[in-house]
């Protein structure tokens, strides 16, 4: 099933939390370019993802803006992180296999484009038990921003029951979208996609 809310705003940071048990850091690649235009500096932060047991809360947003410079850093990575790739206009973050609790992945990535940027975050859960994924992404834009969120079951035998969808506007510059879902996972991955 897919949940695609849309919102408009002008906020600032991107925070995303993923909790993982198995460790081993794969690859982190970051490429930053500079765009000369009319606005200041944009920093998109993809922060921590915590995975524990039972509900899915998805707070997502995207950024489109014309800016002058880009700041890109990759912060602490503890646990199983597949690949983080950052280039001008695209950020891809993948967290593979979750089998238990307690671990933290923190990555800070800045992306700037005069047209559009994309943030993709995938959490693969290979467990017959449920898990909790919480990710937070704020909005920074010189114009309007679009929020897109989708939850896709990996196979037809996966059961994803979604309830209590709420949209909360925290301030005039931050849009918070909360999606509460109860997951009954039968040995297949659940994928959360964030995109512009």
E-strand stretches of 36-109: 41-42, 50-51, 55-59, 69-70, 81-87, 90-95
**Could you tell me if residue 58 is inside a domain?**
yes
Please give the pLDDT value at position 8: 43
Task: Report yes or no on 13 lying in a domain.
Answer: no
> Which pLDDT score, from 0 to 100, does residue 121 have?
46
User: Would you say residue 160 lies in a domain?
Assistant: yes
The answer to whether residue 2 is domain-embedded is no
Is residue 130 in some structural domain? Answer: yes
Rounded-to-integer distance, Cα 44 and Cα 48, Å: 13
pLDDT score of 111 = 38
Which residues constitute the domain of residue 163? 25-194
pLDDT at res. 141: 37
Residue 157 lies in a domain: yes
Whether residue 7 is contained in a domain is answered as: no
Pairwise CA distance, residues 135 & 51, whole Å: 10
What's residue 117's pLDDT? Answer: 40
**3-state SS class at 48:** coil
Mean pLDDT per 10-residue interval, the chain, length 196 residues? 43 44 42 41 43 40 39 39 40 43 39 40 41 41 38 37 36 41 40 35
Domain count, the chain: 1
**Nearest-angstrom CA–CA distance, 153 and 158:** 6
Report yes or no on 185 lying in a domain.
Answer: yes
């Amino acid at each position: 099933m897919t949940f695609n809310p849309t919102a408009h705003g002008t906020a600032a940071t991107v925070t995303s939390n993923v909790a993982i048990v198995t460790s081993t850091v794969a690859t982190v690649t970051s490429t930053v370019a500079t765009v000369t235009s009319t606005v200041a500096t944009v920093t998109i932060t993809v922060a921590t993802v915590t995975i524990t047991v039972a509900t899915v809360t998805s707070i997502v947003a995207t950024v489109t803006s014309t800016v002058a410079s880009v700041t890109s850093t990759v912060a602490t990575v503890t646990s199983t992180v597949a690949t983080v790739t950052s280039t001008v206009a695209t950020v891809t973050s993948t967290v593979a296999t979750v089998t238990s609790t307690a671990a933290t992945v923190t990555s800070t990535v800045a992306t700037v484009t005069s047209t559009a940027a994309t943030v993709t975050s995938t959490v693969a859960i290979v467990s017959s038990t449920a898990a909790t994924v919480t990710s937070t992404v704020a909005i920074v834009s010189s114009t309007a921003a679009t929020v897109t969120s989708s939850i896709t079951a990996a196979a037809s035998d996966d059961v994803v029951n979604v309830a209590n969808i709420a949209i909360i506007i925290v301030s005039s510059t931050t849009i918070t979208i909360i999606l509460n879902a109860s997951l009954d996972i039968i040995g297949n991955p659940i994928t959360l996609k964030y995109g512009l």
